[in-house]
């Protein structure tokens, strides 16, 4: 007589078969994902005069183009810096038209031979953050060259890229190669203060004129060591979008008084509790399309078990997102909106209760969320605290395609200069002038063509900022190939 299975046993068998089938599916899915064969590329890279570009960057750093406090400040140093550029790149400037925007931002327009082709825009900002001389091994604006580095404020962020993009075209022109597509060099002067008086006004001019662009490239993702993701290759990250930005002012007002008789709830205490709760109860982790695209590009090169998790990220999201949140600050900011308290203000005296306690919180907003979402979250966590948004806030940018000829102009140029490198899209976790340019192009990308070691990346905006000169040469080679691919070798567009 056959045993009749109970309902519980049937459910158990069903669940077991389901999970066995699911795991088998996930394993097969992982095995079949393999790297694409890379096409052999004959890069034919140009000769770059290493000493020349190092000296150009050294001189560029010596111009103290610190971001102006406001639109009324004296920015004559920016005009001096532009004169230096105009003398340093004679072939580019001989054929370029200069357009000044709001006194200190500058466009140099090199006209191509085919006006029917949409131009490209190459962005860089002239301004740099301030530098306190304390802690520097060399004067912060000396541009000193030593140990194969150019030292100084702005050497990485971002006068190196500015010099490289101009020298790339200078070399191309020296070879009498025809430039078919027009190139706009757009150099803002206040990127470090959100680009309100520079890049934004440049784009406003383009909108008035109805000017659109085939491609826009600005600073952004760089070339990094892939070992943090289980990949024994370098990874070139192209930012297809950037996170939103907001500075919030948190304030608690209260009657001032003597610190010997504090009330039960002080302004500083209420503010501190609010900041604590904002840091403790963050907004949820979530996927954005650029990060999903990044894992699709990188998964074939990962080792097990990371490859298994990455390929099946849709099914294992509940594991992968928390892990990314914990690995490092860099991986965490890929999957969540971040809140960074940066400034505090209270009483002028240690024995006086302040009438107002203030804090600044810098927010970087993930695609799919908005400035309004961030404000609601902060108000919910920080009870009894006034929240104000500082002017210049932006929602996350639109997302540019990670396929198509415009993306390939950049990715192919990377592979020609940095062979055996994996190219992947990603979300640029900082902000740049390019956020305004989505209004005039569907193809806005953020890439810095330098291999960045962790030590040097941490020097940006810090002491002893420096630029590796060998990488500076590579940057020149990259822009040379980009112009060759996007502006010279054009067929039937």
The residue ranges of DSSP E strands in 213-310, in sequence order, are 215-225, 234-242, 244-253, 257-258
**DSSP element (H, E) containing 106:** strand 105-110
| DSSP E strand stretches across 126-214 | 145-146, 149-151, 183-188
Structure tokens given for 143 = 């541009």
Distances (CA, A) of 253 to 292, 345, 389: 44, 12, 17
> In the prediction, which pLDDT does 492 show?
52
Q: What is the mean pLDDT of the chain?
A: 92
Length of the chain: 493
DSSP assigned state of 128:
B
- Delineate the domains of the chain, giving CATH numbers in brackets: 50-241+398-488 (3.40.630.10), 243-389 (3.30.70.360)
Question: What is the DSSP code string of 7-74?
Answer: HHHHHHHHHHHHHHHHHHHHHHHHHH--PPPPPP----PPP--HHHHHHHHHHHHHS--BPPSSTTS-
The pLDDT tens digits of the residues spanning 239-292 come to 999 999 999 999 999 988 888 888 989 999 999 999 999 999 999 999 999 999
pTM above 0.75, yes or no: yes
Mean of pLDDT values over 82-109: 97
What is the rounded distance in angstroms from the CA atom of residue 151 to the CA atom of residue 188? 22
Beta-bridge partner residues of 130:
none
Per residue in 178-211, pLDDT (tens digit) is 999 999 999 999 999 999 999 999 999 999 999 9
Mean pLDDT of 34-40: 72
Structural contact between residues 448 and 123, judged by C-beta atoms closer than 8 angstroms: no
483, 443, 488: which is closest to 212 by C-alpha? 443
CA distance 416 to 42: 7
Cα distances (Å, whole numbers) of residue 278 to 326, 359, 386? 18, 12, 14
Q: Using one digit for the tens of pLDDT, what is the confidence trace for 108-155? A: 999 999 999 999 999 999 999 999 889 999 999 999 999 999 999 999
Q: Please, how many CA atoms are within 13 Å of residue 71, restricted to the half-sphere of its CB? A: 11
Phi, psi torsion values for 109, nearest 5 degrees: -105, 110
Q: How far apart are CA 429 and CA 450, in angstroms?
A: 17
d(CA 371, CA 395): 6
| pLDDT band at 27; cut points 50, 70, 90 | confident
Q: How confident is the model at residue 5 (pLDDT cuts 50, 70, 90)?
A: low
- In whole angstroms, what is the distance from residue 290 CA to residue 412 CA? 19
Query: What confidence category does residue 424 fall into, taking pLDDT thresholds of 50, 70 and 90?
Result: very high
Smallest Cα–Cα separation from 392: which of 247, 294, 290, 275?
247
- pLDDT at position 2 is 43
């Amino acid at each position: 007589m056959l045993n009749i299975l109970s309902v519980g046993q049937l459910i158990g068998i069903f669940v077991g078969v389901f999970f066995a089938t699911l795991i088998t599916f996930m394993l097969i899915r992982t095995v079949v994902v393999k790297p694409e064969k890379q096409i052999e590329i004959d890069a034919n890279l140009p000769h770059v005069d290493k000493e020349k570009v190092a000296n150009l960057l050294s001189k560029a750093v010596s111009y103290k183009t610190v971001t102006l406090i406001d639109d009324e400040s004296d920015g004559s140093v920016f005009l001096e810096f532009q004169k230096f550029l105009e003398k340093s790149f004679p072939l580019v400037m001989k054929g370029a038209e200069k357009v000044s925007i709001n006194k200190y931002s500058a466009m140099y327009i090199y006209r191509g031979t085919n006006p029917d082709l949409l131009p490209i825009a190459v962005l860089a900002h002239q301004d740099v953050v301030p530098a306190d001389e304390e802690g520097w091994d060399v004067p912060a604006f000396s541009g000193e060259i030593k140990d194969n580095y150019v030292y100084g404020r702005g050497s990485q962020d971002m006068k190196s890229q500015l010099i490289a993009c101009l020298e790339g075209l200078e070399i191309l022109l020296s070879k009498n190669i025809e430039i078919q597509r027009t190139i706009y060099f757009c150099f803002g002067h206040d990127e470090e203060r959100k680009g309100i008086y520079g890049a934004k006004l440049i784009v406003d001019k383009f909108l008035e004129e109805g000017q659109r662009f085939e491609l826009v490239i600005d600073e952004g993702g760089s070339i990094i060591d892939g070992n943090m993701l289980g990949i024994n290759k370098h990874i070139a990250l192209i930012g297809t979008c950037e996170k939103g930005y907001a500075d919030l002012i948190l304030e608690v007002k209260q009657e001032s008084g003597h610190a010997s008789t504090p009330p039960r709830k002080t302004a500083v205490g209420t503010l501190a509790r609010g900041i604590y709760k904002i840091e403790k109860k963050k907004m949820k982790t979530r996927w954005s399309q650029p990060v999903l695209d990044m894992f699709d590009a990188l998964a074939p090169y990962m080792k097990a078990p990371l490859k298994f998790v990455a390929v099946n990220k849709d099914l294992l999201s509940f594991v992968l997102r928390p892990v990314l949140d914990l690995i490092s600050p860099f991986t965490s900011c890929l999957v969540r909106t971040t809140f960074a308290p940066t400034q505090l203000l209270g009483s002028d005296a240690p024995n006086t209760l302040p009438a107002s306690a203030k804090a600044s919180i810098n927010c970087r907003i993930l695609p799919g969320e908005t400035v309004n979402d961030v404000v609601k979250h902060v108000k919910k966590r920080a009870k009894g605290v006034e929240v104000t948004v500082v002017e210049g806030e932006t929602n996350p940018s639109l997302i540019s395609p990670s396929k198509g000829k415009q993306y390939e102009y950049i990715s192919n140029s990377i592979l020609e200069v940095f062979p055996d490198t994996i190219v992947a899209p990603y979300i640029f976790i900082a902000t740049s002038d390019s956020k305004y340019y989505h209004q005039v192009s569907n193809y806005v990308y953020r890439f810095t063509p330098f291999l960045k070691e962790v030590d040097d990346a941490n020097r940006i905006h810090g002491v002893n900022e420096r630029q590796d000169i060998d990488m500076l040469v590579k940057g020149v080679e990259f822009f040379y190939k980009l112009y060759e691919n996007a502006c010279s070798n054009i067929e039937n567009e």
